Amino acid sequence: MRPRFTVRVRLTLLYTGLFVACGAIVVAITYGLVAANLKAPPGKATVTAVPDSFLQSCKEQLNSKTSVDPRVRQKCEAAFQEAAAYGAQTQRDAVLADLLRYSLGTLGAVTLLGAVAGWFVAGRALRPIHRITAAARAASEHNLTARVSLGGPRDELRQLADTFDDMLDRLDGAFQAQRRFIANASHELRTPLTVMRATIDVVLAKPAPSTGELVRMGQDVRSAVDHAEILIEALLTLARNERGLAVHEPTDLATVVEDVVDELDAGNRRTHLDLEPAPVLGDPILLERLAANLVDNAVRYNVDDGHVWLVTSTVDDHVQLQVANTGPVVAGDAVARLFEPFQRLHDRTGDGGFGLGLAIVASIAGVHSGAVSAEPRDEGGLTVTVRLPLVAGP
């Protein structure tokens, strides 16, 4: 089984290996330059040592006052040249050997110091990674408050730490929204069950309930069942949208809006249509639900003799559906939370709604790669705008 080294060990080995490689290159270059400057003696490729006794004899003969045989003189001069060349060669070899020995020794010592320094440098470089790891271990579904909060220069590790903190912020927000959604859904589902139980208990508590009381009990139970069915259908729509879009059919959003308005019971509210062709690609049923929810909200949260405006158009590379209505004045800071599940404005309750209408609209727009926004009207009411990708004609 191969040993598994930590990142710190691997970085240290990498630093040390690079240092040794660079040091070896420096030693080789230095050795080559010195060897080139210390030129070998001219003449034969190799020289041999001349016995000291012969050199001494030649010296005595050349220094004597008697004449010296030319052949002896020539032989002695050749011996002196050989001895000088041998001495130069020996000195050159000694210098190069000392240079190589000291260079390698120094390289080994400095490599050891470099390995120790690399160990500490690697540990310091990996310190932000340890902080990110600690924050990741501390994070859980019930505790997402841990943050890296790395300081220092905005290098790659700082960007990684900031990205990790942003991810934890998004996860924290998502989990909180999920917990609120579960709590609100449980409360909304419990309400019709409580109504049915209370209605049945009241009737059953009587010794002999009349036919009228039983009929009223059945009507109340039926109303509570309808209430629960509508809520469950809305929750199922949100759940299905989480899996993405399953149907992709060319659909004219203007036609969808017109069909919804034809089936609308607007009461004394007046509708104003300005519908241009708005081709999109998606699920016709979901798009009809989107338009129906917007129109239902515009009629439900309105005033007597109010108005509803519906406009479809194409803008650049997307289609646009705008639904505006008259109604109570809505605060600007309260608009964003209307797209969250079970969120209602205080002055928009008491009408039988669940607070899921705009949440479903946002979900349907999201699975169609679109977006939805809302702006309060100065004179009261809202303007909701849905933008979806435009489908080019054939």
Annotated domain spans of the chain: 7-125, 176-242, 249-389
Q: Per residue in 22-59, pLDDT tens?
A: 989 988 998 888 888 776 655 544 556 556 665 666 66
Can you tell me the distance from the alpha carbon of 268 to that of 255, in angstroms, rounded to the nearest whole number?
24
Q: Per residue in 51-81, pLDDT tens?
A: 666 566 666 666 665 665 667 666 676 766 6
Instruction: Grade residue 347 by pLDDT with cuts at 50, 70 and 90.
Output: very low
Q: How confident is the model at residue 40, as a pLDDT?
A: 61
The CATH number of the domain covering residues in 249-389: 3.30.565.10
pLDDT at 350 over 60: no
Burial pattern 88-103, b for ≥16 Cβ within 10 A else e, equals: bbeebeeeeeebbeeb
pTM to 2 decimal places: 0.54
Residue 303: closest CA among 322, 331, 323, 328 = 328
Q: Per residue in 95-126, pLDDT tens?
A: 888 888 898 898 889 889 988 988 888 888 88
Q: Per residue in 144-201, pLDDT tens?
A: 777 777 777 777 778 888 888 888 888 877 777 677 667 767 766 787 788 888 888 8
Residue 316 token pair: 């650049």
Q: What is the CA radius of gyration of the chain?
A: 46
Q: What architecture (CATH level 2) is domain 176-242?
A: Orthogonal Bundle (1.10)
Q: What is the DSSP string of 173-200?
A: HHHHHHHHHHHHHHHHHHHHHHHHHHHH
Which conformational region is residue 369 in: left (phi greater than 0), alpha (psi within -120 to 50 degrees), or beta? left
Q: Per residue in 158-170, pLDDT tens?
A: 888 888 888 888 8
Cβ neighbours around 178 below 10 Å, total? 12
CA end-to-end span of the chain: 62
Q: How confident is the model at residue 225, as a pLDDT?
A: 85
The number of angstroms, rounded, from the C-alpha of 199 to the middle of its chain's C-alpha atoms is: 53
Cα 86-92-97 angle, rounded to 5 deg: 125
pLDDT at 385 over 90: yes
Q: Per residue in 290-346, pLDDT tens?
A: 898 899 888 888 888 899 999 999 988 899 999 999 988 887 777 777 777 666 665
Strand 279-282 vs strand 318-325: parallel, antiparallel, or unpaired? Answer: unpaired
Averaged pLDDT, 269-298: 89
Can you tell me the distance from the alpha carbon of 245 to that of 369, in angstroms, rounded to the nearest whole number?
10
Residue 214 token pair: 């039983």
Q: Per residue in 230-244, pLDDT tens?
A: 777 777 776 776 666
Residue 119, class by beta-carbon neighbours within 10 Å (0-12 exposed, 13-18 middle, 19+ buried)?
middle
